[in-house]
Amino acid sequence: LQLEPALPAVAGADVAVPLANGSQVPYANFDYAASAPCLLAVKDALDAALPLYASVHRGAGHLSRMTTRAYENARQTVRRFAAARPDDSVIFTRNTTDSMNLLASCVPLGTTVVVFESEHHANLLPWLHRHFVVRLPMPRSPEDAVATAADVLAPGGLLVVTAASNVTGELWPIDELAAAAHARGARIAVDAAQLAPHRPLDMSNVDYLAFSGHKLYAPFGSGVLIGRGDWLRDADPYLRGGGASKTVGSGTVIWASAPEERHEAGSPNVLGALAISAACAALDAAGRPALAAAEERLFAHLRSGLSSVPGLRELSLWGPDSPRVGIVSFVIEGWDPHSLAQTLSDSYGIGVRDGKMCAHNLVRQLLGGTDGSIVRASIGLGTTRAHIDRLVTALAELTTVRAAA
């Protein structure tokens, strides 16, 4: 008997949703990869913070100092969660997209940036307008990813790569890619939007890391960019305004040198920072290896259930056995992905995602070169075996109905 560890609870786990026939069923949420529900620990932290806060950094009053302390502690909690180096900068942003745009604005002009064509758009598009970009084709295997990147990486360059695919959940060989980049005098920036909620992070080989609070069981509006300070310190501020500037004269500005000040102009999203750090603390306290192991057992149950659905084809970059986080995408013969997702919601109270997952090149390639949509089911801390059984039963029913029609 496998005993499951006590998992941190998510808010709204028992919410009921209406079906098209007017009845109500408990919601089965399979869209954690888009945005995960808030942890109760995060809600509690926000409830505690909400009545009493004031401006950070510049106020002399008691509440201001208290809020500043909480904000700066949040930075340290996130730093520990990412296993960042002591001298890494930790900059609060809006989300991973914002973090990648911030980093792109700081990477010195003339840097060669290497990206895989298959990247999530948050990780592809920020680089295209300002930098010289080498776009690599979707790799045939993790080893091929390392070899093709190694071929083009050169001193002073930057490799930008996603740690876990938001489409297939597959894990990219980050350690090997980092070693290849560093051996050639280049750096590596990792999009951990999908890795952070599912696996321990380790920045010992990674120069920059980004993730989003809303995929990490905190509400929307907060993310982080963590990494080496030099490029961040030397770049123009991402936003210009108070906090980013040290001295302003008529016609002159001296910008703050600490990246955390230089790139966090304006009043920051303090509650967002407290939320993301409360999520980090709760996941750390629960033990992230144990959470990952529990999720793997649940995910194996999901994939084995899906494999029994007639006509269902699971999509993957590198084959069914490549390691992945709790995300699976598929198509079902005879079903339009959007109608299927809509029917799962309307008739069964099950929420999946359909579309191109902000990774058009990858989805096209997974569909054999044609433009089209797919269905994605992703799990997280509120997912139960009963939810999975409902999804598999619903898909089996729907495919049987189609086959009989």
Clarify whether 358 is annotated catalytic: yes
Interacting residue with ligand PMP among 77, 101, 123, 222 (CB under 6 A): 123
Report residue 174 as tokens. 């980050």
CB of 223 to ligand PMP, least distance (A): 6
- Write the DSSP assignment of 381-399 as a string of letters: TT--HHHHHHHHHHHHHHH
- C-beta of residue 295 within 8 angstroms of C-beta of residue 327: no
Long-range pairs for 55-63: beta carbons < 8 A, 24 or more residues apart: 55/267, 56/267, 56/268, 56/270, 57/243, 58/243
- Identity of the residue, 111 or 123, whose beta carbon is nearer to ligand PMP in the bound complex: 123
Q: Does 96 participate in binding ligand PMP (rule CB under 6 A)?
A: yes
Q: Does 399 participate in binding ligand PMP (rule CB under 6 A)?
A: no
Interacting residue with ligand PMP among 97, 277, 343, 373 (CB under 6 A): 97
**Cα separation of 390 and 383, whole Å?**
11
**Contacts to ligand PMP from residues 165-224, by CB under 6 A:** 166, 191, 193-194, 212, 214
CB of 376 to ligand PMP, least distance (A): 10
| 198 CB neighbour count, 10 Å cutoff | 29
The SS3 of residue 160 is strand
Q: Which stretch binds ligand PMP (CB under 6 A): 11-19, 90-98, 247-255, 345-353?
A: 90-98
- Identity of the residue, 193 or 381, whose beta carbon is nearer to ligand PMP in the bound complex: 193
Burial 273-304 (b: 16+ CB within 10 A, else e): bbbbbbbbbbbeebebeebeebbeebbebbbe
> Binding string, 354-383, against ligand PMP, x = CB under 6 A?
----x-------------------------
**Cα separation of 299 and 211, whole Å?**
22
**Cα separation of 13 and 380, whole Å?**
11
Q: Does 122 participate in binding ligand PMP (rule CB under 6 A)?
A: yes
- Identity of the residue, 164 or 256, whose beta carbon is nearer to ligand PMP in the bound complex: 164
Interacting residue with ligand PMP among 67, 101, 118, 162 (CB under 6 A): 162
How many residues sit close enough to ligand PMP to count as binding (CB under 6 A)?
Answer: 14
- Identity of the residue, 97 or 277, whose beta carbon is nearer to ligand PMP in the bound complex: 97
- Identity of the residue, 120 or 263, whose beta carbon is nearer to ligand PMP in the bound complex: 120
Q: Which stretch binds ligand PMP (CB under 6 A): 9-17, 64-72, 116-124, 277-285?
A: 116-124
Q: Which stretch binds ligand PMP (CB under 6 A): 119-127, 174-182, 264-272, 383-391?
A: 119-127
Q: Which residue is nearest to ligand PMP (CB)?
A: 166
Q: Does 269 participate in binding ligand PMP (rule CB under 6 A)?
A: no
- Identity of the residue, 191 or 264, whose beta carbon is nearer to ligand PMP in the bound complex: 191
CB of 35 to ligand PMP, least distance (A): 8
CB of 97 to ligand PMP, least distance (A): 3
Residue type, 328: V
Supply φ then ψ for residue 135, to 5 degrees. -100, 120
**Nearest Cα to Cα of residue 24 among 35, 16, 34:** 16
**Nearest Cα to Cα of residue 53 among 260, 265, 275:** 275
Supply φ then ψ for residue 66, to 5 degrees. -65, -45
- Identity of the residue, 193 or 341, whose beta carbon is nearer to ligand PMP in the bound complex: 193
Q: Which stretch binds ligand PMP (CB under 6 A): 68-76, 95-103, 251-259, 347-355?
A: 95-103
- Write the DSSP assignment of 221-283 as a string of letters: T-EEEEE-HHHHHHSPPSS-STTTEEEE-SS-EEE-SSHHHHT--SS--HHHHHHHHHHHHHH
CB of 162 to ligand PMP, least distance (A): 5
**Nearest Cα to Cα of residue 121 among 404, 315, 355, 382:** 355
**What are the angstrom distances between the C-alpha of 147 and each of 143, 163, 190, 321?**
6, 17, 18, 21
38, 106, 280, 358: which one is catalytic? 358
Q: Does 31 participate in binding ligand PMP (rule CB under 6 A)?
A: no
Task: Just list the catalytic residues.
Answer: 358
The site for ligand PMP (CB under 6 A) is made up of 95-97, 120, 122-123, 162, 166, 191, 193-194, 212, 214, 358
